[in-house]
């Protein structure tokens, strides 16, 4: 199944390179990729950076979503539901206002959000309660969203307009500097990719996982912080893409027969963003609608189905 998801992601990436106001035929795309200084200058300067950033951002969202959902044993506990992406967005917008690098601001906002969430949802005897995390995270998301709007109101018209477009989740205007920032995130994904067996054991329960030799508390903190940094970094690249992290985890689990698969979740997230970006550039290319609009349109039904499934299993 991993091979099938990988093939799908590659196919969507190639289709995204060909998509736009002027679609490229396969032979035209191949010729453009082989001639970066001539006929392919437009492809290499505009479309290739957009595809690379979209793939990395989608992979980071999907990977962080699976990790949070597994750590908290709740399919709704993705970073865009528990307030991590909203905190990262607040930090990124604040960084724009003060001239600080956007990625640093997003990382700071994401870490503050996850730290506040851990403090609010912790029980003195029972530790972190998954249901409390989701409820407190929703409150944090609303608070961070209100703070972001307040920051935008203090900006000039040009900066405010750019910030509003970015908050919708967009890959427009992506260039090679964003590719460099995206590549910085790849080392952070390695601990999460290698944590598949640990995540699988954590689902058995804290006591059993501890008996199998896992340091449950340290593992939860380490993986949670790493997932927050990965999600916040993805937000700094393209804004808070709605529902990507939420949908990638359950779909990746289905492909892995119910087990947490970081590789599958990463590929699903990357493919999800590629599909949404293709729609953004082909359905209404003149309107330049943000990619995040299409991730929401695709991901919202996934949320509805997840809630219905949880209700049928009496998990809500």
Phi and psi torsions of 260, nearest 5°: -70, 120
What percentage of the chain reaches a pLDDT higher than 70?
A: 91
Pick the closest to residue 42 from 29, 52, 53 (CA basis): 29
Q: Which CATH architecture has domain 2-312?
A: Orthogonal Bundle (1.10)
The reported pTM is 0.90
Question: Using CA atoms, how far apart are residues 281 and 288, in angstroms rounded to an integer?
Answer: 7
Query: Higher model confidence: residue 244 or residue 205?
Result: 244
**b (16+ CB within 10 A) / e for 253-265:** bebbeeebbbbbb
> With contact defined as beta carbons under 8 Å apart, do 297 and 272 qualify?
no
Question: Using CA atoms, how far apart are residues 143 and 302, in angstroms rounded to an integer?
Answer: 25
Instruction: State the chain's mean pLDDT as an integer.
Output: 86
* CB-based burial label for 182 (10 Å; 0-12, 13-18, 19+): buried
Question: Using CA atoms, how far apart are residues 265 and 256, in angstroms rounded to an integer?
Answer: 10
Question: Using CA atoms, how far apart are residues 157 and 281, in angstroms rounded to an integer?
Answer: 26
Interstrand relation of 122-123 and 127-128 (parallel, antiparallel or unpaired): antiparallel
Query: What would the two tokens of residue 270 be?
Result: 């990357």
> With contact defined as beta carbons under 8 Å apart, do 49 and 314 qualify?
no
Query: Higher model confidence: residue 65 or residue 130?
Result: 65
In this structure, is the dihedral angle defined by the CA atoms of residues 112, 118, 120 and 124, taken in order, positive or negative? negative
Per-residue pLDDT, 71: 87
Pick the closest to residue 58 from 301, 299, 303, 307 (CA basis): 299
Per-residue pLDDT, 161: 82
**Choice among 126-135, 154-163, 219-228 with the minimum mean pLDDT:** 126-135
What are the DSSP calls for 277-305, one per residue? HHHHHHTSTTTT--HHHHHHHHHHHHHHH
Asked if the model's pLDDT at residue 88 lies above 70, the reply is yes
**Choice among 8-22, 29-43, 47-61 with the minimum mean pLDDT:** 29-43
Per-residue pLDDT, 149: 92
Per-residue pLDDT, 123: 66
Per-residue pLDDT, 191: 92
The tens digit of pLDDT for each residue in 219-246 reads: 888 999 999 999 999 999 999 988 899 9
Bridge partners, residue 128, by sequence? 122
* Region 244-255 average pLDDT: 86
Query: So where are the chain's domains?
Result: 2-312
């Amino acid at each position: 199944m991993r091979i099938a998801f990988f093939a799908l992601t590659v196919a969507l990436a190639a289709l995204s390179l060909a998509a736009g106001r002027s679609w490229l035929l396969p032979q035209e795309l191949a010729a453009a990729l082989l001639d970066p200084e001539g006929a392919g200058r437009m492809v290499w300067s505009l479309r290739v950076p957009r595809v690379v950033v979209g793939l990395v951002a989608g992979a980071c969202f999907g990977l962080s979503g699976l990790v949070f959902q597994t750590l908290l044993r709740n399919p709704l506990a993705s970073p865009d539901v528990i307030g991590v992406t909203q905190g990262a967005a607040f930090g990124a917008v604040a960084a724009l206002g003060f001239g600080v690098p956007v990625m640093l601001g997003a990382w700071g906002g994401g870490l503050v959000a996850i730290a506040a969430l851990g403090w609010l949802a912790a029980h003195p005897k029972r530790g972190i309660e998954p249901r409390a995390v989701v409820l407190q995270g929703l409150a944090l998301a609303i608070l961070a969203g209100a703070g972001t709007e307040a920051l935008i109101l203090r900006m000039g018209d040009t900066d405010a307009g750019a910030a509003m477009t970015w908050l919708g989740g967009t890959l427009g205007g992506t260039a090679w500097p964003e590719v460099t920032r995206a590549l910085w995130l790849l080392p952070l994904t390695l601990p999460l990719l290698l944590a598949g067996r640990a995540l699988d054991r954590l689902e058995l329960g804290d006591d059993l996982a501890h008996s199998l030799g896992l340091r449950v508390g340290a593992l939860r903190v380490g993986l949670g912080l790493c997932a927050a940094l990965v999600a916040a970094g993805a937000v700094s690249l393209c804004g808070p893409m709605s529902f990507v992290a939420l949908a990638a985890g359950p779909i990746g689990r289905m492909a892995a027969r119910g087990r947490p698969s970081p590789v599958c979740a990463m590929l699903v997230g990357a493919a999800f963003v590629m599909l949404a970006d293709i729609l953004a550039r082909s359905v209404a290319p003149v309107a330049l609608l943000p990619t995040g609009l299409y991730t929401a349109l695709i991901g919202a039904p996934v949320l509805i189905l997840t809630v219905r499934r949880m209700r049928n299993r009496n998990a809500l």
